[in-house]
Structure 1
Amino acid sequence: MTELGLMDHEPRGRRAERNSHRRRKKRRRRSGCALFVALLVLVAVVAVGGWYGYRFYQEKFGAAPDYVGDGSGSVTVEIPDGAGTAQIADILYKDAVVKSAGAFLDAAKKQPSKAATIQPGTYPLHRHMSGVSAFSVLTDPKNINALTIPEGTRASKVYQLIDEKLKAKPGTTEKAATTQDIGLPAYAKHNPEGFLWPTRYTVGQNTTPAALLKQMVQQAESEYQQDGIDQAAARLNLSPYQMIIIGSLVQAEAQQDADYGKVARVIDNRIGKGMKLEFDSTINYALNRSTLTTTSADQRTQSPYNTYLHTGLPPGPIGNPGHQAMEAAVNPTPGDWLYFVTVKPGDTRFTASFAQHQKNVAEFNQYQKTHGGQ
């Protein structure tokens, strides 16, 4: 045999030993890979668990997500009556003023006595403000200074109130309303009456008449959408502007809460029958005054707002209605009434009978005579 041939015949024991060594080596490699994979899985689990743990800790015990600084841009925020700190925080978060409600709450918790001074009203703020910065604006005495517009206030009176509040020369606000863009819808035809929403507005050192009027118009459009005037107008075959006009008439004529829906129904019923409204409030608007009664001469006043002379609605609102009046305009109380008169305070009588209405008017006249027109 050759030398090569001798090498091919290795003893069996040695060969078995070498094969066993190879198998152990392979098992060690497989075990090493499995261990490496297990370690990777363990690291991943720890990382994910750590992230969720960190997130849980942050949510429960850590600082709330917050912006830095005074923010930028502008946003008008409405704080409603009776709003608590938590509700205010939610409003600021939804309006993108603060990064989280918690950011504002953290600032408020540090100064609870100041947090209690936050007043309802409209506040000019910025987007992306820190919680502390937003809190400072809402509690700044300069911003707490506010102007309240009562429901039904005419535009002419609103102008006067703004001039007085801003210490501006008389006529300044009226000029701003007629010469500057305050955001009126096209169908208003540049007439602000009916779009100066009655509520509380914050007034700062830098507040201008035009800016305040613009806030009022924006608020009015938002509130009218809430009241659903577009849907109601379509249902009643009227325009949204006519719905606002009706709301202003209801506001001027209704004396008690229970009267609002009934007055709205009288308006609908009379217009439906082609009757003149014959509302004293429209004459008073034309004459720029407020009285309980009108004379025969008053009722001949040549004005498109005189509903004793003209059938249908007046050409525009006669004041700035609030929610109660607009809700009544949108959903009048069911009834067949065509007439009403407030005989005395707290006693407004509605009827579908003209004869009965005449008796009610006679009682009204007697009451006025007895009480000296009070």
Structure 2
Amino acid sequence: MTEYGRGRGSEPWHPEDPLYGDQGWTAHQTQQGQPPHGGDPQQQAYPQEPQYQQQYPAPYPQQAQQQYTEQQYPQQPQPQYTEQQQYQQYAEQQGYAQQAQQAQQVPQAPQPAYDQQSWDTGQGQYVAAAVQVDPYAAADPYAQPPAGAFPGEAPDLYTTAEAYPPPTPPGLRHLEPDPAEEWQDGGAGTDTREADAEESLLPGGGDDSGGRRTGRSGKGRKERSRAACLIVALALVGVVGGGGYYGYSYLKARFATAEDYAGEGTGEPVDVEIPPNSSLTRMGNILKEKGIVASVEAFTAAAGANPKGKSIQPGVYPLRKKMSAAAAVTFMTDPTKLNVITIPEGKRNVDVYKLIDTRLGKSEGTTEEIAKREAKNLGLPAWAGNNPKIMDPLEGFLFPARYDVSQDSTPESLLKQMVKNATDKYGELGVEGKAKELGLENPLQVITVASLVNAEGKHHEDFRKMSEVVYNRLKKTNDVTNQKLEFDSTYNYIKKSSEINFSLKEARALDNPYNTHFVKGLPPGPIGNPGDEAITAALAPDGGGWMFFVSVDGKTTTFTKTYEEHQKLADEFLERQKQKNGG
């Protein structure tokens, strides 16, 4: 750059300088051969050539400045003018002779001199160009309003009382300090600004940065440095220590051999209950707390190595203390070792009593005797067992499920738990409130229907159709079976058997309130313990109008609406039975 006598090197410039960026000529063109703002006295410039003076009128100052630059026309030495002479020359060229004369009467502020050399502010150029007439001055639609003492003249912001300070000579210029570097208190009441100010007055700025302050000095800075070093050291110690601990834990868990016992265990069996939905890790924790295995890691590793390790069922296991993890997993994956009683849906009470006796090691008949003696004390609902013809008041109330057995279990405690589960389920499904809607006398008849559905249906898909058959045969309008159900399952309940081949003649002749081949309507009570699906079907029959059903192949049940369709299927069934029996 060469503005205002500076060299061509890059120099910082005050951003509020109005002449920064060649804006001080008020949009007039640069004269040919004359450098902007006065130029450097050491530079050479060509004398002015008049033929270029009028080529670019005032309305187009920017095009003139862009086309005729000092790079396109080498500069020649030019005579030095005072500021007044330069302004007069400019006025004569632009046709402002009268304004130029008035400008001569305006006192000029003295210009400062630096290093025995006059400092040109660039104002003299206006004088030199004022004599030229600008034919477009009056019609310039883009002309700016006068800002100075004369029309078309830009104010000299270097000569007024509010003027910007004149440019600093190149030899005395210093870079401005970084705005981000703020003076800070040195701490403990020590102000470091005086020391930094004194240091900045030394040659070179008191450091090796070439005149620019790049750091702080003093006691406060040293204290902060020590504190920072201490914090970093503590952080490193924490990171290294924590990393070492976790690293050791990881390596130990990853590569160290888990603690484990050997053998099948010692001492008496210990009942260990595994809750439902337990993970292998939770199982391992339970076993470790009971003293069965030595570590959780050994148990989970053994379960992962066993193909059946992930199939361990919840329940009570009679394990021994100090078992090897592999032995514990092998024991728990054997369903016969699980200390539970599982009641299948539709199971009769006589069969449930036998299961309890076997699991608890009681003599046969013990549980059945307790059931008959303590029936009223086992938690039955008020609407159960009111019919004196009922063979077993607990029938239908030993809810099908799996029950854990421990050393403290007794026949009575297990029966109470089963009755409670049944009562809770019936209340949940709203059995008591649905009885009248279904045309039944009491809630117990709902359970009775459900037990018949569970006994006669082959699959859950059959249950709602089977429920429809029961309700249709109970209707008073039923003149086909005369309100008799004629279910073989009721005859088998009396006989405590499950035969499908029996004498129909004998069945129809047996006088028993549970024999639906002999009596009309429902039996006095349930003939088994129905599950969820059968109870739901009893509460919501299919509604398809079914009256008959038969299983020809013993696997699939076929339902019909008329007796003729049923008889045809029944004859087919009898024929298959003869062939099967060799007859």
Note whether the superposition's TM-score is higher than 0.5: yes
* TM-score, normalised by the number of residues in structure 2: 0.41
Query: Secondary structure of 1:327's match?
Result: helix
Tell me the equivalent position of 2:462.
Answer: 259
For 1:79 and 1:222, the matched residues in 2 are separated by 21
Superposed CA offset, 1:210-240 (max 9, x none)? 1000000001111222333223223213221
Query: Over residues 109-146 of structure 1, what are the superposed CA-to-partner deviations in whole Å (9 max), with x where a residue is unaligned?
Result: 967849968734699xxxxxxxxxxxxxxx9x9x9510
Match of 1:166 among 354, 360, 364: 360
Q: What is residue 278 of structure 1 aligned with on the other side?
A: 486
Aligned partner of 2:408 in structure 1 is 206
Q: Is the 8 A contact 1:227 1:323 kept in 2?
A: no
- What displacement does 1:307 show? 0.7
Please state how far the C-alpha of 1:164 moved relative to its aligned partner.
0.9
Check whether the contact 2:398–2:418 (CA below 8 A) recurs between aligned residues.
yes
- Amino acid in structure 2 at the alignment position of 1:216: M
* Partner residue of 1:185 out of 377, 381, 393: 381
Does the C-alpha gap of structure 1 residues 334 and 155 become closer, same or farther in structure 2, counting only changes over 3 Å?
same
Give the fraction of aligned pairs with identical amino acids, expressed as a percent: 42
**Residues 1:149 and 1:193: Cα distance change in structure 2 (over 3 Å):** same
Equivalent position to 1:344, from 553, 571, 577: 553
- Cα contact 1:283–1:299 (8 A) shared by 2: no
Amino acid at match of 1:307: T
Distance in 1, Cα, partners of 2:357 & 2:530:
21
Q: Matched residues in 2 for 1:155 and 1:360: separation?
A: 33
| Amino acid across the alignment from 2:530 | P
Note the alpha carbon deviations across 1:153-185, whole angstroms, 9 max, x for none. Answer: 111111111111111011110111111221122
Q: Deviations over 1:67-110 (max 9, x none)?
A: xxxxxxxxxx9966xx4559x9xxxxxxxxxxxxxx99xx9x96
Higher normalized contact order (CA 8 Å, seq sep 6+, divided by chain length): 1
Structure 1 residues 157 and 334 mapped into 2: Cα distance closer, same or farther (>3 Å)? same
Of Structure 1 and Structure 2, which has the larger fraction of its residues in helix? 1
Question: What is the rounded CA distance, in whole Å, between the counterparts of 1:309 and 1:321 in structure 2?
Answer: 24
Query: Within the alignment, does 1:154 sit opposite 2:356 as a pair?
Result: no
Find the residue that maps to 1:223 and give its secondary structure.
helix
Question: Could you say which residue in structure 1 is the equivalent of 2:8?
Answer: none
Query: Partner of 2:557: helix, strand, or coil?
Result: strand
The residue aligned with 1:248 is 451
Q: Report the equivalent of 2:421.
A: 219
| Pair 1:175-2:384 in alignment | no
Change (3 A) 1:343 1:299: same
Which letter does structure 1 place at the counterpart of 2:433? Q
Corresponding residue to 1:231 among 433, 457, 464: 433
User: Would you say the 8 A contact 1:176–1:209 is kept in 2?
Assistant: yes
| Cross-structure match for 1:321 | 530
Q: How many residues align?
A: 264
Question: 489, 495, 508: which is aligned to 1:299?
Answer: 508
Question: Gaps (5+ residues) in structure 2?
Answer: 1-272, 290-294, 304-308, 318-331, 386-391
Q: What secondary structure does 1:188 align onto?
A: coil
Tell me what 2:119 maps to: none
Task: Indicate if the aligned counterparts of 1:145 and 1:203 stay in contact, CA closer than 8 A.
Answer: yes
CA-atom RMSD, angstroms?
3.3
If the length of structure 1 is used for normalisation, what is the TM-score? 0.63
Q: Distance in 2 between matches of 1:121 and 1:325?
A: 26
Computing the radius of gyration from Cα coordinates, the structure with the larger value is 2
Q: Distance in 1 between matches of 2:354 and 2:549?
A: 32
